[in-house]
A and B are shown apart, each in its own frame.
Chain A
Amino acid sequence: MAHINEAPIRHKGIAVNEAAAAGITTRDIRLSAANLSIAFIALVVGGVAGLLQGLVRSGFLELPSWISYYALLTAHGVMFVLVLTSFFSIGYLYAGTSRVLGGLAPKTLAFGWTGFALMTVGTVMAAFFILTGNANVLYTFYTPMQAHPWFYIGLALIVVGILLNCVGMFITYQSWRKRNPGKLTPLFAFFANAVFVLWVFASLFIAVFVVGMVIPWAFGWVETIDPMMGRTLFWAFGHTLVNIWMLTAISAWYVSMPKLIGGKVFSDSLARVAVVILVVANVPGGFHHQILDPGLSVNLKFLHVIQTFMIIFPSLMTAFAMIATMERAGRAKGVTSLLGWWKTLPWSDARFFALIVAMLAFIPAGLGGIINASNQINQVVHNSIWVTGHLHLTVGTTVMLTFFGISYWLIPYLSGRKMTRTINRLAIAQTIIWAGGMLLMSGAMHINGLLGSPRRTANTTYNGSSAASDWAMYEMLMAMGGVILVIAIVLLVYIWAQLAFIAPKGEGDFPIGEDYSPSDASPLFMDRWSIWVGLATISIAIAYVIPLINFASGDMPGSPPFLMP
């Protein structure tokens, strides 16, 4: 057994974890740790912004004149939905890939570090312009609202940085396949590759928009921009992004959760089928964000609704696989009753607990999503704070709690420390506090949205209107939820600091489940990504070629800029 005490202490107090079950190299550790560090900072900044928003909207706080509610809201959106999720996903997926593929290729590290540098610089730039009030455009930055031109440069750097990380992943993945002909790629690597494939599609859309349209317009090189083209390109990206998060999160459910509960991966082949459907059918759902837009036909909108519903299918598969995995593990321990296996699950292991609370949250989250996507039913909730409630359940609870659960094994794995019993108990508490806060806040948002309260709107009673007076109580509940969530963030930062720098050294592994039935392995062609990329391109074309050509050629008059502020 290697002597961990002899391992040199690296920069930032991260020790080399040579004794980890499959030895991740220092170089790979550093890259993942760097990405996670930025993710943690983004969590704090975004969390503070969110707290302030909740207090302002419920009337408990009035902001000083030098910062607007909308600057905070922009920061909250960008930090959580773009920065935290991206940096965390990259850190996690790169580490897991290194674990299962025996290390990242040297070229991957080059791309990874360059990507990291661009993303970080871009993040700092974007944050600077947001917090100084020069980019009050919200995370969606719909044109023709216009922010400071260098804000968009910051965004472009983030997107290019992400693309470089995608290339990095493909290099390691394909190099493993070349060195291992006739072997199926490990399931985790398959998931990771899928995430980055989706990210390429998403990034291309947003790059065309930001680099091709917005930046020339923001610098004054072109006079006008077409807002509908902008919205369409943005949501091709934005919608894909949520499935990127989902694929990242469910990689932990499919691959690691079985190991955590002493069970096995239910079905390697069906997991890959779910992944492939998500990749192929994903992008063409973008119009469900534009159901009430002019200029898009009823037929086209309905096509996207159908494609959105298709995405529900892999979630149904996932739900079945999760429960089957848990039941099988219980039966292997000797449980014979119908539901008795529920009790044999490791509820007191924070890594599992966070994951299963996330899975449970996915039920209302998914149901809400079906409602939102149901074509004309969307009219009842569009742009109301119901939608905000929905997204705090999906990304805010399901994805975030999964990420937190992942961090409880990922950080010790990278830092060479161990999750002590105390930290574990704190992590369980953190999960409960976070879920409770989200349930309260999101629940209040759902109800308030049905009562007509708009999203993305500063505190107002609309001149004392009676409609607005219905919202006051729920806004208070939202603020309470926000306060609870900030407590959970503080707890989480403490846990992470412990796991990264202070906890005693130990051997933590990155849990990778084994296949339940090796004979059920996928056929080899599943690894042929050219097939899935090809199919995804066709499905995207079906959904987007007609409207985009329409907008590009329709003699659109275009809009001049409207500076925010």
Chain B
Amino acid sequence: MHIHRYEKLWLIIGSFILFIFLGIVAIQTFFLDMGPPSHAEIIDPQTVRESEIFADAELTEVGDNEYEIAIIAEMFAFQPGDLEIPAGATVHFTLASPDVTHGFKITDTNVNVMVVPGHISKISHTFDEPGEYLILCNEYCGLGHEFMASTIIVK
């Protein structure tokens, strides 16, 4: 099998670039803790609403400007919905669904995670910029999908 000199060059350079891309992504994932949300914890969807974590959950302060909140993603709202936090706060979100798969996306941030029934999802974010952020469901979940949203106000 004869490979033309130019093709060898092209493939080597191309592969090298891909290797660099993969390397950067790998370093960020495995050494800088920037990997995608991959929480592994099982929960029965039919018990989510009454479970200790999610029933009557409230924004709770757990450290210096550090909070956690457990949110139920259901057809067609996030429970609790609108949130208010101070600027610079780090928030740890814990999510589960009692019904179908939802998405949890906060615009103007990298917060983006799937909420699949049977599993608990976790994602964290530090809200440096004050302002109003839209939380929306970005995974189709039924005929009311486009209404599923709430707001985070960062003061």
Contact = CB atoms under 8 A, between A and B. Distances in A.
A228 B116 contact: yes
12 contacts: A228-B119, A292-B113, A298-B30, A298-B38, A306-B22, A309-B21, A376-B35, A383-B103, A452-B108, A465-B134, A562-B75, A562-B100
Residue from B1, B34, B40, B149 having most chain A Cβ neighbours under 10 A: B1
Given A298-B29, A559-B117, 8 more contacts: A144-B101, A294-B116, A294-B119, A309-B18, A320-B7, A451-B107, A458-B146, A558-B118
A294 B29 contact: no
B42 A554 contact: yes
Interface residues of B, number: 66
A543 to B, nearest CB: 16
A259 interface: no
B25 interface: yes
A294 B37 contact: yes
A268 to B, nearest CB: 10
Interface string B24-40: 01101110001111111
B11 A452 contact: no
A462 B134 contact: yes
Interface residues of A, number: 75
Given A228-B119, A298-B29, A316-B11, A375 B140 contact: no
Contacts of A296: 38
Which 5 residue pairs across A and B have the least CB separation, nearest first? A452-B107, A557-B44, A383-B138, A294-B119, A454-B138
A520 interface: yes
B90 interface: no
Interface string B1-32: 11110110011001100100110011011100
B34 A226 contact: no
B42 A555 contact: yes
Given A269-B1, A379-B112, A320 B25 contact: no
A302 B75 CA distance: 31
Contacts of B143: 68, 70, 136, 564-565
B58 interface: no
Contact of A467 (B29, B42, B107, B119): B107
A429 to B, nearest CB: 34
A375 B11 CA distance: 23
Interface string A128-143: 0000000010100010
A70 B75 CA distance: 15
Contacts of B121: 294
Contacts of B30: 298, 302
Nearest to B95: A294
Contacts of B91: none
A380 B110 contact: yes
Given A294-B38, A313-B15, A454 B136 contact: yes
B25 A145 contact: no
A379 B118 CA distance: 22
A224 to B, nearest CB: 9
A455 B138 contact: yes
Interface of B: 1-4, 6-7, 10-11, 14-15, 18, 21-22, 25-26, 28-30, 34-46, 75, 99-101, 103, 105, 107-108, 110, 112-121, 132-134, 136-143, 145-147, 149, 151
A467 B22 contact: no
A314 B73 CA distance: 41
A382 B115 CA distance: 13
Interface in A90-144: 136, 138, 142, 144
A559 B36 contact: no
Nearest to B99: A562
A446 interface: no
Q: Name which of B112, B117, B142 has the most chain A CB atoms within 10 A of its CB.
A: B117
Contacts of B37: 292, 294, 379
Interface in A367-408: 370, 374-380, 382-384
Contact of A457 (B25, B34, B134, B146): B146
Interface string A314-337: 001100100010000000000000
B131 to A, nearest CB: 9
B105 A454 contact: yes
A376 B25 contact: yes
Given A138-B140, A294-B114, A465-B134, A375 B36 contact: yes
A297 B40 contact: yes
A68 B142 CA distance: 10
Contact of A460 (B7, B15, B146): B146
A529 to B, nearest CB: 19
B36 to A, nearest CB: 5
A145 B100 contact: yes
B26 to A, nearest CB: 7
Nearest to A526: B1
Nearest to A291: B36
Contacts of A375: 25-26, 28-29, 35-36
Interface in A416-450: none
A30 interface: no
B2 A520 contact: yes
Nearest to B119: A294
Nearest to A462: B149
A5 interface: no
Contacts of A142: 100-101, 139-140
Contacts of B40: 294-295, 297
A374 B108 CA distance: 19
Given A374-B25, A457-B140, A459-B146, A556 B118 contact: yes
A25 interface: no
Nearest to A317: B11
A558 B42 CA distance: 10
A290 B121 CA distance: 13
Contacts of B11: 313, 316-317, 320
B154 to A, nearest CB: 14
Contact of A292 (B7, B114, B147): B114
B106 to A, nearest CB: 9
A463 interface: yes
B137 to A, nearest CB: 8
Interface string A485-527: 0000000000000000000000000000000010010110000
Given A144-B99, A145-B100, A293 B114 contact: yes
Nearest to A74: B140
B116 A231 contact: yes
A492 B131 CA distance: 49
B25 A273 contact: no
